[in-house]
Amino acid sequence: MFTAPMLQQHLPEFSRNREMARKYVYGDKPIRTTTAEIVENEFAGKATAAQVDAILKKRFPHYKDNTYLNLIVNAVNCNRGHWSFNRTARRTDDATHRHHEYDRLFKRGNVFEVYDSALHGVFEIYEASDGKWLTRPVKSEFEKAIEKASQLTSEQRREKLATSNTTPERVIIKSYTFKRNPLVVAEVLALAGGKCQSCLRDAPFKREDGRPYLEVHHVEWLANGGEDSVENAIALCPNCHREAHYGALVLKPANIK
């Protein structure tokens, strides 16, 4: 007879045996697992539902399942509350959660990518006030600090910036990164007024909260000793920002008072 501690000890083994004993319509594992593995192994980490569907139909001639939904169930940035295992509160970077195995993909347009929290950000599944299970991005401390700084007036930000250290604090993660001043970001975005300060075009789109999407770039890179200051920063559209890093775009300070 099993005691409670013995049952707890052998629970993983029982779960594995039950999983092995279960018969699946397509192969030896749940089809939602197979779809994610196809993205990972057959398409180097990026695939459309149509591409995955073609592989499944080739692998299983009798295949009639909904490939798109089997990808959505694994996509961290989609609302997935239709499935019971996605009706548990969790963060997608919590590898210890019992349902973390379903946090495997990230949906970008019509392409599903292998999920990387460092690249795609962290999301959380939560229960809304109406009982629905929804997904939302988890804001980083830096993003929260920028929002707080954006609520100040330009005069208040300037007052704080006057006593701010323009030499950014370096934080060791796996490599060096710079701890940037959120006041600088908020002030530069306010000065830009929704327009790229290089090409002078309107921001390409708006964030969910209605703010124009622009990226703050340092004219003289921090890695090269540049200051983390409003005068050394410029608001760019994504295209100009990429060109500044990987092309021949030469930038000049735009926020010198």
In the prediction, which pLDDT does 208 show? 82
- CA-CA-CA-CA torsion sign (85, 88, 94, 96): negative
Contacts of 246 (CB under 8 A, 6+ apart): none
Contacts of 117 (CB under 8 A, 6+ apart): 92, 93
Taking the alpha carbons at both ends of the chain, their separation in whole angstroms is 80
- Nearest CA among 122, 116, 128 for reference residue 141: 122
In the prediction, which pLDDT does 173 show? 61
In the prediction, which pLDDT does 9 show? 55
The model's pTM is 0.54
Contacts of 59 (CB under 8 A, 6+ apart): 26, 27
Burial status of residue 189 (CB atoms within 10 A of its CB: 0-12, 13-18, 19 or more): buried
Give the count of beta carbons closer than 10 Å to the beta carbon of residue 161.
18
3-state secondary structure of 212: strand
In the prediction, which pLDDT does 5 show? 52
Which residues of the chain have a pLDDT value below 70? 1-22, 173-177
Domain ranges of the chain: 4-137, 141-246
Six-digit token string for 25: 């319509």
DSSP 15-61: HHHHHHHS--SSTTS-HHHHHHHHHHHHSTTEEEHHHHHHHHHHH-T
In the prediction, which pLDDT does 60 show? 94
Q: Which amino acid, residue 188?
A: V
In the prediction, which pLDDT does 2 show? 47
Task: Report the side by side order of strands in the sheet with 90-91.
Answer: 90-91, 123-127, 133-137
- Please state, in angstroms and as integers, the Cα–Cα distance from residue 199 to each residue in 193, 202, 206, 232, following that order: 13, 9, 17, 17
- Please state, in angstroms and as integers, the Cα–Cα distance from residue 20 to each residue in 8, 15, 35, 62, following that order: 19, 9, 19, 22
In the prediction, which pLDDT does 108 show? 86
Q: Which amino acid, residue 165?
A: N
